Amino acid sequence: MKKNNNSIRECLLNKIEKREAVVGIIGLGYVGLPLAIHFGQQGFKVIGFDVDERKIEMLYQGQSYIKHIKMDHINEKIKEGELEATVDFTRLGEADCMLICVPTPLTDKMEPDLSYVLDTTNFIADNLRAGQIVILESTTYPGTTEEALLPRLETDDMKAGEDFFLAYSPEREDPGNKKFDAANIPKVVGGVTSSCLEIASALYNCITQVVPVSSTGAAEMTKILENTFRSVNIALVNELKVLGHKMGIDIFEVINAAATKPFGYTPFYPGPGLGGHCIPIDPFYLSWKAREYDFVTRFIQLAGEINVSMPYYVIDRTMEALNQHEKSLKGSKVLVLGVAYKKDIDDERESPGYTIMKMLSEKGAIVSYNDPWIPVLKPTRKYNFQKKSTPLTPDVLREMDAVIVVTDHSAYDYADIVKHSNVIVDTRNATDKIDGADGKVFFA
């Protein structure tokens, strides 16, 4: 008996329109958890999947493991039975719409690590049924959805665009951003077929504006372009910062002056290096893929080299600052202020703060850190410092031979830090124009 594929499509569209579709979100991190909240707010039942049992336990205990995400709505939906969280991936069959929000890191050789995506896809394949849509949100190289996911999901009896649906919609989450979130950031969507695009667009239209594109590859490339744009421009101002120090010119003053131009210019600001899960990583996914076409992405590679070099520059400036006070880095007490990759969040993924701490330790410094958002340093794929945040007191500051401002959290009283510190290496321009900074502050 021939299947009525059109009715499968119409049935799923009808479920989405009536908010009767169950949304399964795989990966309850910085991307997945906000999506669970927004779909829940729009009346969908949500099942969250994660391999980390600790996250599931904390959600059911009413605790947030991501500080800037409030638990009010989550607690309400859990109590109503409209939001569940589980480590049981056999329940994937209960979801009508499955969103993959798992990490896509780089290997030590700067090659894409799709193991999380592929493992998730295999779980989905084991539980796939007719009338479901699978949407990849994890950032990856153009071609991933159709080259890596589609062959694992499609069988003789299950055809994409007929029996099930497959699409790509890149996450655009900006942790800690109080102005933009999943409810007002447009969603770029590409489908394997026109039916896949139609259904994915219908789903995301329930929470925000949709920007449809012609293919999953175009959607994948869109995300890479967005982050490469930022990487290249940050590399530019990082390079000009170093030149500015040699020339005695304040690059922050220059950037702010240039930003008064009402057209043709977008301000980017330098720092101690790139952090977060997107900008330091995503452009290299495209560089890797480009090799298949005998193409060298020179801008991406050069920007990467410059941005990766910035922690080294911070160390050089720290040594210069200590030298001017007749001290060596070896044996000096150094306090790193902030290990989150940007201000006012508890996300330390790919943070240059880790690199800086590692290099300081290797050169013989006695390293401690303070971060009001990160009380304990968690082990990462590269680092395991086993440190707790040092209280930020006048006595602690006076004990330190140098204080390095890596993350300019709003909670820091920079006037007080300048007052009690001996030497400050400022990578964020946080101490600019503070009284008493002359002779103490070295910008890096």
Q: Where are the beta strands (DSSP E) in 286-408?
A: 333-337, 366-370, 402-405
pLDDT at position 378: 84
> What letter does residue 158 receive in the DSSP assignment?
-
Q: Say if residue 3's pLDDT is above 60.
A: no
Question: What's the whole-number mean pLDDT along residues 57-75?
Answer: 88
Active site residues: 278
Cα separations in angstroms, 394 against 74, 221, 304: 40, 49, 38
Q: Is the pLDDT of residue 279 over 80?
A: no
Rounded to the nearest 10°, the torsion over CA 60, 66, 71, 73 is -100
pLDDT of residue 2: 46
Q: Sign of the CA dihedral 345, 347, 351, 354?
A: positive
* Architecture, CATH, for domain 231-443: 3-Layer(aba) Sandwich (3.40)
**Per-position DSSP letters for 106-138, written without gaps between them:** B-TTS-B--HHHHHHHHHHHHH--TT-EEEE-S
Which residues does 187 contact at the CB level (< 8 Å), separation at least 6? 169, 172, 204, 208, 209, 210, 211
- % of residues, the chain, pLDDT over 90: 82
Measured CA distances, 385 to 241, 361, 395 (Å):
30, 10, 24
Contact at 8 Å (CB) between 102 and 116? yes
Question: How far apart are alpha carbons 370 and 206 in whole angstroms?
Answer: 41
Beta bridge partners of 187: 210
Q: Whose structure tokens read 């057209």? A: 263
143 DSSP 8-state letter = T
Domain with CATH 3.40.50.720 in the chain: 5-213, 231-443
pLDDT in tens, 359-398: 999 999 999 999 999 999 988 778 888 899 999 999 999 9
* Average pLDDT rounded to a whole number, residues 241-250: 96
Kindly report, residue by residue over 129-181, the tens digit of the pLDDT.
Answer: 999 999 999 999 999 999 999 999 999 999 999 999 999 999 998 877 778 88
Strand order of the β-sheet with 366-370 is 366-370, 333-337, 402-405, 424-426, 441-443
Tell me the pLDDT tens digit for each residue of 182-198: 788 999 999 999 999 99
Averaged pLDDT score across all residues of the chain: 93
Name the class of domain 5-213.
alpha beta
pLDDT > 70 fraction of the chain, expressed in percent and rounded: 99
For 350, the token pair is: 């790919």
Neighbours of 396 (CB within 10 A): 17
Specify whether the CB–CB gap between 286 and 300 falls below 8 A.
yes
Residues near 37 by Cβ (< 8 Å), separated by ≥ 6? 69, 73, 74, 182
pLDDT score, position 5: 73
CB 136, CB 170: distance < 8 Å: no
**Tens digit of pLDDT for each residue in 311-370?**
999 999 999 999 999 999 999 999 999 999 999 999 898 899 999 999 999 999 999 999
E strands present in 365-426: 366-370, 402-405, 424-426
* Coil, helix or strand at residue 402: strand
Which residue is it, tokens 């205990």?
61
**Does residue 1 register a pLDDT over 50?**
no
In this predicted structure, the answer to whether residue 282 has a pLDDT above a threshold of 50 is yes
Q: How far apart are CA 65 and CA 96, in angstroms?
A: 27
Q: Give counts: helices (H), strands (E), the chain.
A: 15, 13
The pTM score is: 0.91
Q: Residue 15 pLDDT more than 90?
A: yes
Q: How many CB atoms lie within 10 A of CB 263?
A: 4
Tokens of residue 184, six digits? 């007002």
Residue 276 has pLDDT above 50, yes or no: yes
